[in-house]
Amino acid sequence: MVTPFPSLCLVLLFLSISSSCYIAAPVNVAPLDGPLPNGNFEEGPKRSNLKGKVIVGKYSLPKWVKKGLVQYVSGGPQPGGFYFAVPRGVHAIRLGNHASISQYLRVEKGSYYSLTFSATKTCVEDEILEVSASKETVDLPIQTMYSSNGGDTYAWAFQATSNIVKVTFYNPNIQEDRTCGPLLDAIAIKKMLPLPKPIGNLVKNGDFEIGPHVFEYFSTGVLLPPHSMDVVSPLPGWIVESLKPVKYVDSAHFAVPSGSFAVELVGGRESAIAQIIRTKPNKSYLMTFNIGDAENGCHGSMVVEAFAAMENVKVHHESDGKGGFTHASLKFQAISDRTRITFWSAHYHTNVEDFGHMCGPILDDVTVVPL
What is the predicted pLDDT for the residue at 228? 65
* Cα–Cα dist 329/2, whole Å: 86
Instruction: Answer whether 175's CB lies under 8 Å from 97's CB.
Output: yes
* Mean pLDDT of the 320-337 span: 92
How many angstroms separate the CA atoms of 8 and 366, rounded? 64
- Closest by CA to 287, choosing from 336, 238, 329, is 329
Distance of CA 86 to the CA centre of its chain: 17
For 63-119, the DSSP string reads T-EEESSEEEEESEE-TTS-EE--TTSSEEEEE-TT-EEEEEEE--TT-EEEEEEEE
The CA-based diameter of the chain, rounded to the nearest angstrom, is 92
Distance CA 129, CA 142 (A): 7
Task: Enumerate domains of the chain plus CATH numbers.
Answer: 26-192 (2.60.120.260), 222-370 (2.60.120.260)
pLDDT value of position 81: 63
Checking 53-62 for CB contacts under 8 A at 24+ apart, the result is: 53/94, 58/24, 59/24, 59/25, 61/93, 61/101, 62/38
What is the DSSP pairing of strand 128-133 with strand 50-51? unpaired
Cβ(328)–Cβ(302) below 8 Å: no
Residues 25 and 37 sit within 8 Å (Cβ to Cβ): no
Which of 166, 14, 33, 30 lies closest to 100, judged by CA? Answer: 166
The pLDDT value recorded for residue 1 is 42
CA 221, 32, 190, 28 dihedral sign is positive
Q: Judge contact between 281 and 336, C-beta under 8 A.
A: yes
In the chain, the amino acid numbered 123 is: C
Cβ–Cβ < 8 Å for 140, 127: no
Instruction: Tell me the pLDDT tens digit for each residue of 279-310.
Output: 999 999 999 999 999 888 888 899 999 999 99
* Distance from C-alpha of 254 to C-alpha of 261, rounded to nearest angstrom: 9
Q: How far apart are CA 144 and CA 323, in angstroms?
A: 25
- How far, in Å, CA of 178 to CA of 356, rounded? 28
User: What is the per-residue pLDDT for 310?
Assistant: 95
Render pLDDT for 122-171 as a digit per residue (tens, 0 to 9).
887 788 999 999 889 999 888 777 776 667 899 999 999 999 999 999 99
pLDDT of residue 77: 65
Question: Residue range 264-280: average pLDDT?
Answer: 92
Q: pLDDT tens, 79-103?
A: 766 667 777 778 999 999 999 999 9
Residue 180, pLDDT above cutoff 90: no
Distance (Å, whole) CA 292 – CA 287: 17
Task: Determine contact, residues 363/303, Cβ cutoff 8 Å.
Answer: no
Residues 133 and 62: their CA atoms lie apart, in Å, by: 20
- How do residues 13-49 score in pLDDT, each as one tens digit? 434 433 333 335 679 888 899 999 999 999 999 999 9
